[in-house]
């Protein structure tokens, strides 16, 4: 279980000086084991900052962040991150990218290659093992990013707007496939997004955040049954939640005429 | 295990595989022919200017070739070339090791950068030959003077390029590596070094060129040995053909060393094309 309690993060302040930017303020929430939580909020609300704190990539000033009651002090083997810009190594091929996490954790070459090939197959990239990232489309690159994260067999998957850089069609395809993968093995997922459809389509709950400084405005249950078929977005419940999110987000927009 | 299928199209697949087949080959043959033609044209123009102007400092190209052949036949060039190249290799190897090491530390750690930046840039801008008298005073008429000059000539451009290369590595790659639990030394070996290689090689090539310059300058001004000393000697005799012949030898050293670094570079950084 991920527990975030009274979390506050300020950027650019020296301990004595002040004058920094308050990115997150008194954040409180929990993510249960095997739960899929999507996080949505206006641009600059600190969603990505929150994810990076849970990933152990940046520090925070106040509050507690813990995983199974162990405080987060850095990255850990139970967590893996999928990045918005894919963050693939351009000098090595698909196989080299997917084995990255296993290699740095000291797996033998045979083990890591076998595991990587299994995951490359799982994300539908069989036959592309020897391709460099630049030879792949954006959607395929993010499949590599997903396979790399899954390869280290994390219990918690932290996804930072993973489909945000993709075109609409590719994004919907990958959403469906992510759902299929998740049905097979229900990992704990925190998924940052700026798409309302995506937030409702994927999540068990949606966490709605306020503009800077980011706070939790509301945790919204998504009572849609699983497995969710692609046409679930036509259902009344789906549309209702989506509209509710939009009303809230619209009210937060500061740059409306 | 049932797998999800990839239905997006693959970009650049067949195109990327076809490089090296006939259209590419034709292009490189055409480039090669153009280069040969430019060299021949230069030789012809030089030859005719040499004969028609009759200037003492511009002997016809054929006389330069004759001087070069005489040099080679007498063994004068080869023995001097050997001593020059030896100090070039030692001096450049030292500056490579030092330059890459200091550059990497400066690129990675702000403290190191702050501490050394002003020195590195000052020494980079300062004409290295200014140090010749000092090296002469320290090392006397030995190879060490030459090597020291070569080192000062080539090191700092390598430091600066390496530091910039490391500093500008895509931060998201470093963050990604941290997220998978990389330690600092793994960040270096698995992310920073490979990612910075293209820019580092640019620095190495510039450093190589400067090392050749340093070699000749050092030989001409302090250690009166090697090719530089020969050039100095014939220059004093106003024997332009022989000076040009030595210049051609230096030119070839420059081209060969550059080609060597470039070959290594394209092997190691093919991904960046």
Domain ranges for chain A, please list them: 2-78+154-252
Compare all CA atoms of chain B with the CA of A51 and give the residue at the minimum distance.
B179
User: How far is the C-alpha of B230 from the C-alpha of B159, rounded, in Å?
Assistant: 32
Taking chain A (257 residues) in runs of 10, the rounded mean pLDDT of each run is 90 63 88 95 87 93 91 93 95 96 92 93 93 94 95 95 92 92 92 94 93 88 88 91 92 68
Q: Which residue of A has its CA nearest to B197?
A: A91
Bridge partners (DSSP) listed for residue A39: A192, A207
Asked if B177's CB is within 8 angstroms of A75's CB, the reply is: no
How far away is chain B from the Cα of A91, in angstroms, using its nearest Cα? 5
Test B172 with A83 for CB contact under 8 angstroms: yes
Residue A249 near residue A200, CB atoms below 8 Å:
no
Give the A:B interface size as CB pairs under 8 Å: 100
- B62: tokens are 């054929």
pLDDT of residue A255: 59
- Per-residue model confidence (pLDDT) at position B229: 87
pLDDT of residue B218: 86
Measured CA to CA, the distance from residue A245 to residue A254 in angstroms comes to 16
Which residue of chain B is at minimal alpha-carbon distance from A81? B179
Considering the segment(s) A2-78+154-252 as one domain, its CATH architecture is 3-Layer(aba) Sandwich (3.40)
Q: Which two tokens stand for residue B265?
A: 């570079």
Q: pLDDT by residue for chain B (273 residues), tens digit each?
A: 444 444 443 433 444 444 445 667 788 888 889 989 999 999 999 999 999 998 888 999 999 999 999 988 998 888 888 888 999 999 999 999 999 999 999 999 999 999 999 999 999 988 888 888 888 889 887 889 889 999 999 999 999 999 999 999 999 999 999 999 999 999 999 999 999 999 999 999 999 999 999 998 888 887 677 888 888 889 889 899 999 999 999 999 999 999 999 999 988 888 887
- Count CA atoms within 13 Å of residue A237 on its CB side: 11
User: Is ipTM over 0.85?
Assistant: yes
Instruction: Output the six-digit token pair for A217.
Output: 């405005």
| A90 interface with B at CB cutoff 8 Å | yes
pLDDT of residue B6: 43
In Å, how far is B49's CA from the nearest CA of chain A? 51
pTM, rounded to two decimals: 0.83
Tell me how close the Cα of B164 comes to any Cα of chain A, in angstroms: 19
Q: The tokens of A44 are what?
A: 């600059």
Q: Which of A118, A135, A177 sits opposite B11 (nearest CB)?
A: A135
Partnered with residue A241 across adjacent β-strands are none
CB nearest B194 (choices: A75, A91, A136): A91
Closest residue, chain A, to B15 (C-alpha): A135
Q: Which pairing describes strands A156-160 and A2-11: parallel, antiparallel, or unpaired?
A: unpaired
For B182, nearest residue in chain A (alpha carbons):
A104
Predicted pLDDT at A17: 54
B4–A80 CB contact, under 8 Å: no
Q: Residues A162, A85: contact at Cβ < 8 Å?
A: no
DSSP letter (8 states) at residue B271? G
DSSP string, chain A: -EEEEEEEEEES--TTT---EEEEEEEEEEE-TT-EEEEE-STTSSHHHHHHHHTTSS--SEEEEEETTEEP-S--TTEEEE-TT----TTS-HHHHHTHHHHHTT--HHHHHHHHHHHHHHTT-TT-TT--GGGS-HHHHHHHHHHHHHHT--SEEEEESTTTTS-HHHHHHHHHHHHHHHHHS--EEEEE-S-HHHHHHH-SEEEEEPSSSB-EEEEEE----SSPPGGGGGSHHHHHHHHHHHHHHHHH-S---
Q: For position B170, what pLDDT does the model report?
A: 94
Segment 141-200 of chain B within 8 Å of chain A by CB = 170, 172-173, 175-182, 186, 190-191, 194-195, 197
d(CA B114, CA B92): 26
């Amino acid at each position: 279980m991920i527990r975030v309690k009274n979390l506050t993060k300020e950027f650019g302040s020296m301990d004595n000086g002040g004058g920094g930017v308050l990115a997150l303020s008194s954040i409180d929430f929990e993510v249960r084991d095997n739960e899929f939580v999507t996080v949505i909020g206006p641009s600059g609300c600190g969603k990505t900052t929150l994810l990076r704190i849970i990933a152990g990539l940046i520090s925070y000033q106040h509050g507690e962040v813990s995983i199974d009651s162990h405080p987060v002090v850095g990255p850990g083997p139970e967590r893996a991150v999928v990045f918005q810009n894919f963050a693939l190594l351009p000098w090595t091929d698909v196989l080299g990218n997917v084995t990255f996490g296993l290699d740095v954790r000291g797996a033998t070459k045979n083990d890591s290659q076998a595991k990587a090939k299994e995951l490359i197959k799982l994300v539908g990239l069989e036959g592309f093992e020897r391709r460099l990232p630049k030879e792949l489309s954006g959607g395929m690159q993010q499949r590599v990013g997903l396979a790399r994260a899954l390869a280290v067999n994390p219990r918690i998957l932290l996804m930072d707007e993973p489909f945000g850089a993709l075109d609409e069609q590719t994004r919907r395809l990958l959403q469906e496939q992510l759902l299929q993968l998740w049905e097979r093995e229900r990992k704990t997922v925190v998924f940052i997004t700026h798409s309302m459809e995506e937030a409702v389509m994927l999540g068990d709950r949606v966490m709605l955040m306020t503009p800077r400084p980011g706070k939790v405005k509301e945790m919204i249950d998504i009572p849609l049954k699983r497995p969710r078929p692609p046409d679930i977005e036509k259902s009344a419940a789906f549309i209702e939640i989506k509209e509710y999110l939009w009303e809230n987000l619209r009210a937060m927009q500061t740059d409306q005429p | 295990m049932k797998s999800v299928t990839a239905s997006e199209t693959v970009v650049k697949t067949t195109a990327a595989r076809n490089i090296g087949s006939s259209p590419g080959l034709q292009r490189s043959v055409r480039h090669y022919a153009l280069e040969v033609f430019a060299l021949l044209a230069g030789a012809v123009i030089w030859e005719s200017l040499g004969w028609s102007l009759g200037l003492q400092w511009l002997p016809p190209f054929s006389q330069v070739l004759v001087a070069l052949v005489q040099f080679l036949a007498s063994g004068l060039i080869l023995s001097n070339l050997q001593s020059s190249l030896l100090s070039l290799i030692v001096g450049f190897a030292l500056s490579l090791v030092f330059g890459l090491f200091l550059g990497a530390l400066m690129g990675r750690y702000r403290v190191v950068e702050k501490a050394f930046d002003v020195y590195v840039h000052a020494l980079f801008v300062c004409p290295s030959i200014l140090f010749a008298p000092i090296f002469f005073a320290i090392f006397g008429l030995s190879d060490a003077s030459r090597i020291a000059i070569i080192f000062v000539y080539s090191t700092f451009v390598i430091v600066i390029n390496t530091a910039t290369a490391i500093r500008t590595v895509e931060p998201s790659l470093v963050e990604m590596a941290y997220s998978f639990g990389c330690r600092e030394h793994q960040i270096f070996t698995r992310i920073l070094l490979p990612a910075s290689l293209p820019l580092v090689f640019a620095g190495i090539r510039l450093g190589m060129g400067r090392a050749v310059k340093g070699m000749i300058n050092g030989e001409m001004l302090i250690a009166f040995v090697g090719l530089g000393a020969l050039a100095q000697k014939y220059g004093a005799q106003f024997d332009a053909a022989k000076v040009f012949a030595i210049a051609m030898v230096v030119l070839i050293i420059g081209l060969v060393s550059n080609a060597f670094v470039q070959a290594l570079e394209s092997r190691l950084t093919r991904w960046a094309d």
